[in-house]
Chains A and B, each alone.
Chain A
């Protein structure tokens, strides 16, 4: 202590300060070193760890495009549903979780319970799907139960709100929203859209606070040529006809012969695409496109077209069908119901559907010529393209046709066709000879842009005058021939019946037939062509004229009303309705073929007159007569008015007029004649 007494205090203080400073320096260096270690040496690893804790990335599924009919009615759309999942690694009591989930679902089968329990017991798994695409109500109920380690995730679900309407056309999608049938399949790439992705940051509670996303591109909306109402009528009448005739099934195709647009395509039996798994596979097939049948006498339209086009026969030329039977080698062909028509006109060969007459016409044409027209009418090739699984039909090469094959093909045997092929062929006759490509897609819509599919004329099948001759012949089929049951009061109908034995076990059946009718109306300006095919009717009748023609008639009647096509036979006198205050020139409607119109005068409240084009003074005078006050802007002639002409007069409301003075520039003087 004597030493410290002699030591100056400032030295002692200085030393202590130095020690403190040294300690602070060491502490500071340690801090800096740790900072450098974390920020520089461990920078990448720590940053990756932080990003792993905060960053999340998830794919965004695009919304599948809607499918609508030609009037914009929704036929198929996707809505949000939910899928239930569990995290087995976090579940301690799988049985309790299973009971809780099944209580919410309410309809777990024994097999489902077993499946779910097996999945919940897999402790190493971090994810187990339980049930996909449940309704949002069920999902909300499940979330409200707060079952541990069970959650819901959103998933789109495809719905067909009209159930089995146009089911075979629409098709269906699988659990992963990929089209596997119908339009859903053939246009899957267009309507499925493009997925996006979202990158977001979450906090410790897994709540997102930052998000960057590449938005998914929704699928295109598909506008079909189908008319929902006509589709419904076709399905209704087909079902009624098949049931009434105790048949196995049937198809109906309704086409616009001018454009090739398919307005209705029905098959029976049908199915509900919302529950496609509940139906056998053969019921899911689109028979109108994927199955062939021998058309029978409806194919005589093709034979007749070829004969007239090649100038081999005219409508009044005579064909010898005497004896009522045709023989070639061991082959014998008789007329239906063993008729013997004798010698009859070419027209009557078709009207009475003479098999012998058709064979004689076909043999006169020969294989090469007949084969050429068969191809011109689209048989033996795929003509549609819009629906998957289309078959080209069955047709042997014409170079291999012997007399027996020519005879068969002339009357619609030894040739397999689809209902769509047959409808397209007769549509060519209806529209004057142009073979239009059948189509079922009208347009594709993406946002506000709309790309319309234009009608496509594939080729000219026959000349217009040939078509006109055939129309006349086919009218007589309905008027006095085998198709009388297809008559539609007030309309001229052209058509052809068909009755063909079905091939059963490699032999033609004596009890099973394809009964069909193909026709169009109004025959001189056809709006629709309809094919009706009924398979194996067993209610005592099997001819096309008895089974298919009545179905055609019912569909045609409803179609004419729906399309607002006025009757073409003995049309009623047009009725014009006019208001009492307005003089009007009688305007004759285009369909009026005679007779003065009947003018009915309706007295009702006065309306604002049309004063556009009048001078201001005259316009004001007319308005004043009706008690209206005019407010004028500009000068000259009235170019616009508000309220518009025809509006009811509202008391106290003024009528605004916009005037403009227009100057006509005289036309330039004609050039001087050359000297």
Chain B
């Protein structure tokens, strides 16, 4: 217990002011409920702000990924064009004839060796057939 100086007041009590008197406050339920309600509100707001901040932080990450994907798409397109070029080069008539004559020892057919077949195609079947009603 702390030492206290006796204080004389206007009335002149000799009783020390610091009496062994520890009042216990009664719990204010209403105020406590209000307090917890505000804690909830602030928590929600804080969470919202954190979420917003996190989202903002994600934009650059997503942007990097999108940029990487775009570069990949550009690289694939470049590869596609290279393959087209390669295909066109391989299909070159000069190359085909050179391979046919030098490697496969083929020759251009004479007029009597090559026979032109005319293709006879049947007319297409109609999509519907009409029938008479009895």
Residues of B within 8 A of A200 (CB): 67
How does the 8 Å CB contact mask read for A571-605 relative to B, with 1 for contact and 0 for none?
01011100000000001011100000000000000
Q: State A218–B81 Cα separation when bound (angstroms).
A: 14
How does the 8 Å CB contact mask read for A657-674 relative to B, with 1 for contact and 0 for none?
000101110000000000
State whether A78 and B81 are in contact (beta carbons under 8 Å apart), knowing that A209-B59, A229-B93 are contacts in the complex.
yes
Residues of B within 8 A of A509 (CB): none
Residues of A within 8 A of B116 (CB): 560-561, 564-567
- A209 touches which one: B60, B84, B133 (CB < 8 A)? B60
Q: State A210–B59 Cα separation when bound (angstroms).
A: 8
Contact, CB under 8 Å: A209 / B63: yes
Stretch of B12-20, B29-37, B40-48, B124-132 with 4 or more beta carbons under 8 angstroms from chain A? B124-132
Q: Is A612 an interface residue (CB 8 A)?
A: yes
Q: Which residue of A lies closest to B123 (CB)?
A: A587
Q: State A557–B110 Cα separation when bound (angstroms).
A: 9
Q: State A5–B120 Cα separation when bound (angstroms).
A: 129
Contact, CB under 8 Å: B88 / A161: yes
Q: Is A74 an interface residue (CB 8 A)?
A: yes
Residues of A within 8 A of B87 (CB): 74
Contact, CB under 8 Å: A77 / B81: yes
Q: Is B4 an interface residue (CB 8 A)?
A: no
Contact, CB under 8 Å: A73 / B94: no
- B91 touches which one: A73, A77, A566 (CB < 8 A)? A73
- A207 touches which one: B67, B89, B126 (CB < 8 A)? B67
Residues of B within 8 A of A615 (CB): 131
Q: State A560–B109 Cα separation when bound (angstroms).
A: 13
State whether A162 and B111 are in contact (beta carbons under 8 Å apart), knowing that A77-B81, A576-B120 are contacts in the complex.
no
How does the 8 Å CB contact mask read for A78-90 relative to B, with 1 for contact and 0 for none?
1110000000000
Q: State A77–B81 Cα separation when bound (angstroms).
A: 8
A-B Cβ contacts below 8 A, count: 116
Q: State A363–B42 Cα separation when bound (angstroms).
A: 111
Contact, CB under 8 Å: B67 / A208: yes
Contact, CB under 8 Å: A589 / B118: yes
Q: State A228–B93 Cα separation when bound (angstroms).
A: 8
Closest CB in chain B relative to A157 CB, distance in Å:
10
Closest CB in chain A relative to B61 CB, distance in Å:
8
Contact-size category for A: 35 or more
Residues of B within 8 A of A574 (CB): 118, 120
Q: Is B117 an interface residue (CB 8 A)?
A: yes
Closest CB in chain B relative to A487 CB, distance in Å:
11
Residues of A within 8 A of B132 (CB): 664
Contact, CB under 8 Å: A207 / B64: yes
Q: Find the residue from A159, A200, A636 having the highest chain B CB count within 10 A.
A: A159
State whether A159 and B85 are in contact (beta carbons under 8 Å apart), knowing that A80-B78, A587-B120 are contacts in the complex.
yes
State whether A162 and B63 are in contact (beta carbons under 8 Å apart), knowing that A557-B111, A612-B129 are contacts in the complex.
no
Contact, CB under 8 Å: B78 / A136: yes
Q: Is B50 an interface residue (CB 8 A)?
A: no
Contact, CB under 8 Å: A566 / B118: yes
Q: Is A373 an interface residue (CB 8 A)?
A: no
Q: Is A21 an interface residue (CB 8 A)?
A: no
Closest CB in chain A relative to B110 CB, distance in Å:
9
Residues of B within 8 A of A587 (CB): 120, 122
Contact, CB under 8 Å: B67 / A211: yes
Q: Which residue of B lies closest to A554 (CB)?
A: B108
Q: Is A320 an interface residue (CB 8 A)?
A: no
Contact, CB under 8 Å: B114 / A639: no
Contact, CB under 8 Å: B81 / A490: no
Residues of B within 8 A of A663 (CB): 133
A-B contact pairs, 7 of them (CB 8 A): A79-B78, A79-B81, A209-B60, A210-B59, A560-B116, A613-B126, A639-B127
Give A contacts to B, CB under 8 Å.
73-75, 77-80, 136, 159, 161-163, 165, 200-201, 203, 207-211, 228-229, 232, 236, 488-490, 557-558, 560-561, 564-567, 572, 574-576, 587, 589-591, 610, 612-613, 615, 636-637, 639, 645, 660, 662-664
